[in-house]
Structure 1
């Protein structure tokens, strides 16, 4: 996490996951209290807005704006539903808060094994069906996902995650051992519990058998109807030290599997029984003969071994874990969703999942984890946290993107619950980057019914316009995972950027700074890796990836593209595409050139606290303009045919014709944390034959 003075960013990843553990416990306890919010009065019906005119918008847009449907609204995460909550009357109270659904699971007590808890969950899902709430299923006892609460390894201990370790002090430096001590499996805040191997296809099949099929057997008539998605939480390969727990915290963490204090931390990489066979088949090389290069060495041969190894690992985890979950979900009429671990830094993507963009691409609804409700987090690490799943969705031809969002960073730092305006601004900037599905850890019982409903209505109105729209970035930022594979050297101690090569540090710092600067300069972009780039189609002066056409690509400092991607980039550049190389960042002129690829979205009064998202729907250009600052913003926004545009304010539901200044720009005046949607006219008129 970036350290800044001007904005509260919140505690580190360990502390943040501790917050989640506390949150899960609090929610389980809180369900016993009943009620929807802090008000003791009956909750009134969800607010509807009735604009004076449709201003030429389609009837379905207007209906959704006036009264957002369930699929546009946020979902509350409600672990451990007690019998009192599993009734239509109790679920109706959630609906009256403005929620569109819940994310839930069978009770964690004797997880997956107690019929009483299954009966309660069945009643809860049926109650949701009766009142019209959507249900997502959370797939684990706490986190990280993949263990089925320990049932996978109870079924077969050989399914445990393993690591190849390197100890240069020994005559035989290489050894295989369980990936438990000194890993996230034993250093998370939910439970110290041995963990299955995500690249062992049989282990993942066992996880599906114990978890997904258990839900299917009891709730299959609701799959694809009330139950719409499955949520997997922070699965990873485990073969990396991400730091020990503080002792004052560790003593309070449940220990399921005893830790061996004699196991010393060692550099390690993930392993699976058939990895040598897979590596040999793919590369015609014996990985055991060159395995030293996974841990040491800086010549080209060493780098090639590392790139080959991590390419294979990323493919295996994408196919064997995320792919199997996606295929099972699709076969059973639901979507796969969830998020990965430590999204904020590309360095950690290497040992945790190989390639974050690739594995997120194997989710129907890729997602993120945002425990920080300071709206300004987007210009520090938030842009990448949201940008990766949003890019994975866009570049694979999908639209939906999930966020798990709360303000627990602020609560645990003593700041307390964030304001309604902050909640709305955080939702708005995520929507501007492409997020559509909002799953909430916000504590509804410590907020007024009115505020919570206002937040849910806000999200619903934003989605009423944008959920069916297509994000429209024209700029690509290269995700340098291929270079990081070559540079990554496992270490025994906690993994930090400082433990890595100067080139690794340069590349990551350049990549992160480029993303921050483009967000602060209102330059919409997607993140692309070498594989997607190599598979792109060059047409005219554009790069086509899926349904999206890009006209510019930014390369972080120090990257070296593999041959297929480099050749595609040369063709793109020869066709008139714009390629900009950072040294290590970009000049103001470079950023101005990137901003110039957009006809819409330039500000008359510059501000690095304005976030702009660009979308297209039914041949209309749409901008979402978000003021993340704690002070008002007044200025104008350049938009084609500004006089024919509409201004929609999701906070209150106001819809009006745009006011245009003398320069032909739309005048906007936003309060602190405010946001507006600018909706353009249809570019082409439908004929009677096409209606």
Structure 2
């Protein structure tokens, strides 16, 4: 078969009744022991019995068969052939464990490709070599194996960088100054990385070597099936050395920054000035809270180099070879986490044919999912992938599986990679983040109930395009400016972080769908016409929100000015940017004077955006509910509407009221268990469709909307239970 990364070639009815295996789960199949062909094929049959649509082959702790060796690849091919014969898909994984890039040590045995970092310290080398960290993160640590790049004389006044200069080779500091040292260090051996190290993801040559070792190896064995029954290759938590800022501006702790050999030369060529000459501005805040252009440029350079070196190269290879790049970045959810490990999460999605996320511990990271969904919509991707259910334990029940999958489906997740399905329980494997979603769980034969549901949800929500009217400029670049010592920048980072989280929660739970717009991606995507529609890639928006930012790009501002010129609606929320490209400018303030402004508060923001809302639940008390999430799709004249209740209180968590949908529609309810549909009784008022509804906790509605009216049909309020008897008390 030739695979389509959507299911739209068939009619809606056929797709809903008999969904493609693409929308059934493809769990991480943990290859964690001595692999035997017969057992592997038996487990594939178990997955098929569970309603699973494919597997993601994932080497993990315990694997004794040589990674990427001949036997390993023969077994990969045998599993792919068996899966194909049973109408299942084989998804690939690009690493021995994680994070992706070191190829199980095959890349980083060459020290030229090992991760680097800059150690910024007041303590010169003492001749003591420290052990490298032995966990799966790329966090750097003092190694004392590096090269001295520069020395600085630093003067701190009231916690601010009052004076600094780069010292000559024999130059001494003046009285009252402190000498700091910048060393370029290389990661040493780590047991996690098979006694090698993580890769330098800021070095394009190192990533090219990773592709040669890993992707070309899979292509030699399975390339004929790429784009057929081998849809994608999963990359897991690529990152760079995590940025470590100072706890106290006047303290004597070390700071660590991501670095690569070519950084100084390439940075100087791009910006016309030496980063090493201005490095203290990256570390400390300037007097009077003045912005540092050099700090901004450093974070921008790192973010762009990481995305271009890793995701762009691998995504380009995948596109050329007819296989999708999917997976997820490291630490996507908060401004701080992505600043430390990625620079910016959304930038790498430009090269992922299926952007992905990671959702562990039954967390609900709305920001993580919304960033990926926004990029997927704007780039015209078929949907979002999620690695989910990890670290939920043996007690996590079907309500949990459904609830977690439902809210993510509302935020664009169509492809589910269950974490985790063990090949073996021997030794350490049995403690590898259970539960095992496979034959080791007593309910595995009943799991088809879950898979049938999500297969039909995915088949429905893959069709057409999203109905989303609101764009929000992503504030990550303002956060970069606040990445200084905790005691001088921490409060500002917390303020920006709270705004980012609150805006996401307020809009989504206020049933106003929106997309983030990454300023770094906008120049290649934006298009303003005289129709007062702000178009970003494939997505047209009616209103653009500028959410309490300190700086904005001149390229973004130019697009917003053009949008305002044709009558487009722009809403400034909270602080108006006083900086353009991190430099003082009144340009954004002048634009704001032509536009609408509201404070950064929930009620004024929701009221201002109410004209762009497509659905709401009108309760008998008049109070709004905050437990619903939704996604609406437009396909020709038809729409599909998925609503889920995220409430965990099974007996008291139902959402009751009248569902109000903008526009007049004949409504059908889609049953994800049986694949059938039924007309729904509705009424109509002032151009809206009204449907009495009750959505239980962990429940959902999946509706098909067709222009017109229909007042006869089933009710979306379940019949009340009838008491038939009571048990006597003991």
Q: Into which bin does the TM-score normalised by the smaller protein fall? A: 0.7 to 0.9
Q: Paired residue for 2:54?
A: 101
Q: 1:483 to 1:468 in 2, by over 3 A?
A: same
1:191-228 C-alpha deviation (Å, 9 max, x unpaired): 78521100101111111112111222222222222211
2:400 to 404, 422, 440: 422
**Matching of residues 4-153 of structure 1 within 5 Å:** 60-80=11-31, 82-84=35-37, 90-105=43-58, 108-109=63-64, 111-112=66-67, 114-153=69-108
1:223-257 C-alpha deviation (Å, 9 max, x unpaired): 222211110110111143599xxxxxxxxxxxxxx
Whole-Å separation in 2 of the counterparts to 1:219 and 1:316: 31
1:601 to 608, 615, 618: 615
Are 2:423 and 1:469 aligned?
A: no
Q: Paired residue for 1:579?
A: 571
* Aligned residues of 1:399 and 1:470 also touching (Cα < 8 A): no
1:360 to 327, 349, 357: 349
Q: 1:350 to 1:587 in 2, by over 3 A?
A: closer
1:321-365 C-alpha deviation (Å, 9 max, x unpaired): 111111111122101011011122111212311111101222111
Are 2:611 and 1:589 aligned?
A: no
Q: Paired residue for 2:526?
A: 536
Q: Paired residue for 2:697?
A: 672
Structure 1 SS opposite 2:633: strand
* Aligned residues of 2:347 and 2:521 also touching (Cα < 8 A): no
Whole-Å separation in 2 of the counterparts to 1:439 and 1:85: 24
Whole-Å separation in 2 of the counterparts to 1:361 and 1:654: 37
Whole-Å separation in 2 of the counterparts to 1:604 and 1:97: 39
Whole-Å separation in 1 of the counterparts to 2:478 and 2:111: 35
* Aligned residues of 1:240 and 1:351 also touching (Cα < 8 A): yes
Q: Paired residue for 1:201?
A: 204
2:560 to 566, 569, 592: 569
Are 2:573 and 1:620 aligned?
A: no
Higher share of residues assigned strand: 2
Are 2:385 and 1:402 aligned?
A: yes
1:487 to 460, 482, 490: 482
State the Cα RMSD in Å.
Answer: 2.8
Whole-Å separation in 2 of the counterparts to 1:418 and 1:270: 38
**Matching of residues 58-457 of structure 1 within 5 Å:** 60-80=11-31, 82-84=35-37, 90-105=43-58, 108-109=63-64, 111-112=66-67, 114-154=69-109, 156-170=110-124, 173-178=180-185, 180=187, 194-241=197-244, 266-298=254-286, 303-373=292-362, 377-378=363-364, 382-408=365-391, 410-411=392-393, 416-441=394-419, 443-444=437-438, 445-457=440-452
* Aligned residues of 1:366 and 1:400 also touching (Cα < 8 A): yes
Query: Greater Rg, structure 1 or structure 2?
Result: 2
1:547-591 C-alpha deviation (Å, 9 max, x unpaired): 211122333334321222223223334423131313673241320
Q: 1:322 to 1:115 in 2, by over 3 A?
A: same
Whole-Å separation in 1 of the counterparts to 2:327 and 2:487: 30
Q: 1:571 to 1:504 in 2, by over 3 A?
A: farther
* Aligned residues of 1:503 and 1:558 also touching (Cα < 8 A): no
Q: 1:128 to 1:348 in 2, by over 3 A?
A: same
Whole-Å separation in 2 of the counterparts to 1:601 and 1:498: 44
Structure 1 SS opposite 2:322: coil
Whole-Å separation in 2 of the counterparts to 1:643 and 1:113: 55
Q: Paired residue for 1:249?
A: none
Whole-Å separation in 2 of the counterparts to 1:269 and 1:407: 30
What are the ranges of 5 or more consecutive residues in structure 1 without an aligned counterpart? 1-56, 244-263, 492-496, 684-691
Structure 1 SS opposite 2:560: helix
Q: Paired residue for 1:12?
A: none
* Aligned residues of 2:509 and 2:626 also touching (Cα < 8 A): yes
TM-score w.r.t. length of structure 2? 0.75
Instruction: Report how far residue 662 of structure 1 moved.
Output: 6.6
Aligned residues: 584
Instruction: Report how far residue 456 of structure 1 moved.
Output: 0.5
Are 2:455 and 1:460 aligned?
A: yes
Whole-Å separation in 2 of the counterparts to 1:272 and 1:122: 37
Structure 1 SS opposite 2:257: strand
Q: 1:650 to 1:117 in 2, by over 3 A?
A: same
Whole-Å separation in 2 of the counterparts to 1:95 and 1:405: 19
Instruction: Report how far residue 405 of structure 1 moved.
Output: 0.6
1:421-471 C-alpha deviation (Å, 9 max, x unpaired): 221122121111111111112523325245310110011010121112322
Higher share of residues assigned helix: 1
Q: 1:174 to 1:447 in 2, by over 3 A?
A: farther
* Aligned residues of 1:421 and 1:673 also touching (Cα < 8 A): yes
Q: 1:194 to 1:676 in 2, by over 3 A?
A: same
Structure 2 SS opposite 1:603: strand
* Aligned residues of 2:315 and 2:351 also touching (Cα < 8 A): yes
Whole-Å separation in 2 of the counterparts to 1:619 and 1:168: 66
Whole-Å separation in 1 of the counterparts to 2:657 and 2:371: 30
What are the ranges of 5 or more consecutive residues in structure 2 without an aligned counterpart? 1-7, 125-150, 153-179, 247-251, 421-436, 576-598, 709-730
